[in-house]
Structure 1
Amino acid sequence: MKKPILGLLLVAALGAAAWWYFAENPVDASSDLVLYGNVDIRETDLAFNNNEHIHQVLVQEGDRVRKGQLLATLHRSRRQAEVNAAAARVKAREAALARLLAGSRPEEIRQATANVAAADARLADARATYERTRDLSRRQAASAQALDDAQAALNTARANLKVAEAALALAEEGPRAEDIEEARAMLMADKAQLELAEVVLADTELHAPADGVIRNRILQPGDMVSPQTPVLTLALTDPVWVRAYAPETVLGKLVLGTSAVITTDSFPDKQYTGWVGYVSPTAEFTPKNVETTELRTRLVYQVRVFVCNPQGELRLGMPATVTIAIAQEQTQTPAQDGQAPPDCARSQVE
């Protein structure tokens, strides 16, 4: 019984010595750095920018969708009526502005000219009547009342001629510049209302903002929604990265853009190419779900290693192993906003 116990003690001692050696001696510059982490992606909750009842939901959990694909719709009859009403108001304003810009019609000018001629003729008749009545009044052949009536008729005829001449001048001059500017402003306001109504109508449709997979279908047709009510949860398939943690001693060797090889337990015979795309500027304690109890108190830095995933095999939360040749030179440009390099689909290592 003593030999097995001695053997176990020897193995434990060797393990402790190995742990102490690797803990006290930094990683050699020519060796590979191995990090452990989990596959991570972004998710987004999709909601309508509107308040209405859902008409239809066109996708199910697990469906792969493309950017711009129609996912769900709201009832739109009320919004369509608002668009139609706004469009009718715009047409009315356009017609009113066109009428002002066109000015008076030739028929209106001819009518105003005729009115001036008629008023001038009535003035001539009133003047002649007044002169005859005045002569008769001087000879005592007409009463003072008749003379007053003739004078009033003459004054009225003169005023009517001025009114007709002013109407002719207005017809020839056309609309005032202020009236035209007012009509333009009202037309712009109605066009803005039409654009708003069209935007509200377009908001009755929910489209995919990016390629991804429907992770959760939260609401169903008939449910009432608002901009604060998510309808679907979309898991974005690009970018995909492994969230790992590295000690401070290797930070100087983690250069953005450094290539890496990623393996998973789900596909042990397959390797995925990747690159270091992000190193956290601040330290944190080792996550409890990543390391053992002894290592939880060590400060580490989060590292984000982007992965080429053309076949969509890597999924959220999948454990992964990242191998980085820390002695290598930077071979590719760091990804912008997590986007994979153009040849990512061809760079997968089988």
Structure 2
Amino acid sequence: MWKRIILILVVLACLAGGAWWLYGDKRTPSDVLTLYGNVDIRQVDVAFRVGGRITELYKEEGDTVKAGEKLAQLDLQPLEYALSRAQAELAMQQAAYAQMLNGYRPEDVAQARASLEGAQAAFNNAAITLRRTENLRKQRALSQRELDDARSAYTEALSRRDAAQEQLRLMEAGYRAEEVMRQEAAVKAAEAAVHTASLNVSDTELFAPQDGVVLTRVHEVGAVVQPGQTVYAVTLNNPVWIRAYVTQPNLGHIRPGQEALLSIDATPGKTYRGFVGFISPTAEFTPKTVETKEVRNDLVFRFRVVAEDPDNVMRQGMPVTVTLRKDGGRP
């Protein structure tokens, strides 16, 4: 009797449990959204901004690097020579500019004045000689050739006197404003060349842009590289991104900033925190013509989760399970 009652109770309990599993769960949908994605770690190709021969490489593949840590060194000598040439050119241009600003030396002006006085004296003498020669020629005491020579000497002395006067005038007036401006521009160009050469020297050192891990060491010591040619490929540790997809019916359940719970196969039983950082405005795998509701529901939207990875276990392409609350709460 008791056995029959117990058996009946067990059967009823099983039927009630089955009915709840079959119908009750469907009547009360879960508030948890489970999606799947992959780790998408960013990578940067680190290169020199100048070309040259590599003299030092400080990291191997798999080494961790810190932001600002030195990774490689180029041969300095050619660029140091270029810097010295630029500095010498700047010194010459600055000296010429200072000369223009200060004007001519008093000694130079005095010399030009003395030259004018000498040219004036020579002109006066040539003028006197010409007058005498003309008078003697009228008296037929001299030949026509001697008169022509006197006139030629007079003309030459006049030209020299005028040139000396102009030279003195220019030296007393100083340099033209346009010449000063041109020389000032030459100084600025030389300064820019020095800055560029100095920057090129500093660019012979290669530093890590952010914390990360060396993925690839592309070259070895002694290799000659061109500007922009990759020397190291470095994966960045922070932030770690999870690339996942959500179907169109569930798109309304996620929003930027929403917290997410992440789990990976590498650490079973352990979860990591993250938040939704980006939701694509464009659907993917979209057919050319959408005609039915079933096809429309197959559309997916890419979104990104920014993950916390304190254990540094997430690697590129690793599958990740993303759990979110449909109401936007903390999972």
Q: Report the TM range for the smaller structure's normalisation.
A: 0.7 to 0.9
Partner of 2:289: none
In the other structure, the counterpart of 1:283 is 284
Structure 1 residue 227, shift from structure 2 partner? 4.5
The residue that corresponds to 1:35 in the other structure is 35
- CA 1:26–1:200 in structure 2 vs 1: closer, same or farther (change >3 Å)? farther
In structure 2, distance between residues paired with 1:150 and 1:320: 109
Q: Residues of 2 paired with 1:126 and 1:225: CA distance?
A: 73
Separation of aligned partners in 2, 1:301 and 1:261: 19
Q: How does 1:1-350 map to 2 (within 5 A)?
A: 28=29, 31-128=31-128, 143=142, 153-227=153-227, 229-268=229-268, 270-280=270-280, 281-284=282-285, 299-328=299-328
CA distance in 2, matches of 1:46, 1:112: 63
How far did 1:80 drift?
2.2
Q: 1:264 to 1:136 in 2, by over 3 A?
A: closer
Distance 1:282 1:169, change over 3 A: same
Distance 1:263 1:251 in 2: 21
Root-mean-square deviation over aligned CA pairs: 3.6
- Which whole-Å deviations, capped at 9, do the CAs of 1:178-226 have from their partners, x for residues lacking one? 4334434444444444444444444433222222111222321122323
Q: TM (normalized to structure 1)? A: 0.71
- From the superposition, tell whether residues 253 and 26 of structure 1 become closer, same or farther in structure 2 (CA, over 3 Å): farther
Q: Name 2:291's counterpart in structure 1.
A: none
3-state secondary structure, aligned to 1:41: coil
Alpha carbons of 1:324 and 1:132: their partners in 2 closer, same or farther (altered >3 Å)?
A: same
SS at match of 1:83: helix
- Aligned-partner Cα distance in 2 for 1:282–1:33: 19
In 1, the alpha carbon distance for the partners of 2:146 and 2:319 equals 117
Aligned-pair CA distance for 1:77? 1.7
Over residues 101-127 of structure 1, what are the superposed CA-to-partner deviations in whole Å (9 max), with x where a residue is unaligned?
A: 322211111112222223333444445
TM-aligned CA deviation for residue 146 of structure 1: 6.5
- Structure 2: state its 5+ residue gaps: 1-17, 287-296
Q: Which residue of 2 aligns with 1:293?
A: none
Amino acid of the residue matched to residue 312 of structure 2?
G
Could you give the per-residue CA deviations for residues 243-299 of structure 1, whole angstroms, max 9, x where no partner exists?
2332322111111111112233434454422111122321349xxxxxxxxxxx955
| CA apart distance, 1:228 | 6.5
Q: Equivalents in 2 of 1:26, 1:220: separation in Å?
A: 65
Alpha-carbon separation, structure 1, partners of 2:159 and 2:142: 25
Q: More displaced, 306-315 or 85-94?
A: 306-315
| Equivalent pair of 1:47/1:226 in contact (CA under 8 Å) | no
CA distance in 1, matches of 2:131, 2:147: 9
How many residues end up aligned between the 2 structures? 300
Indicate the SS of the match to 1:59.
Answer: coil
Shift of 1:131: 5.6
8 Å CA contact 1:243–1:303 kept in 2: the answer is yes
What letter corresponds to residue 164 of structure 1 in structure 2? A
Contact residue 284 and residue 301 of structure 1 kept, 8 A: no
CA distance in 1, matches of 2:27, 2:202: 59
Could you say if the C-alpha distance between residues 187 and 244 of structure 1 is closer, same or farther in structure 2, counting changes exceeding 3 Å? same
Contact 2:266/2:313 (<8 A) preserved: no
Of stretches 246-255 and 149-158 in structure 1, the one that deviates more from structure 2 is 149-158
Unaligned stretches of 5+ residues in structure 1:
1-13, 286-296, 332-348
Which region of structure 1 is more displaced relative to structure 2, 35-44 or 123-132? 123-132
The CA deviation string for residues 135-187 of structure 1, in whole angstroms up to 9 with x for no partner, is 777788x6457666655555544433222211111111222334334434444
SS at match of 2:278: strand
Shift in CA distance, 135/226, structure 1 to aligned 2, threshold 3 Å: closer
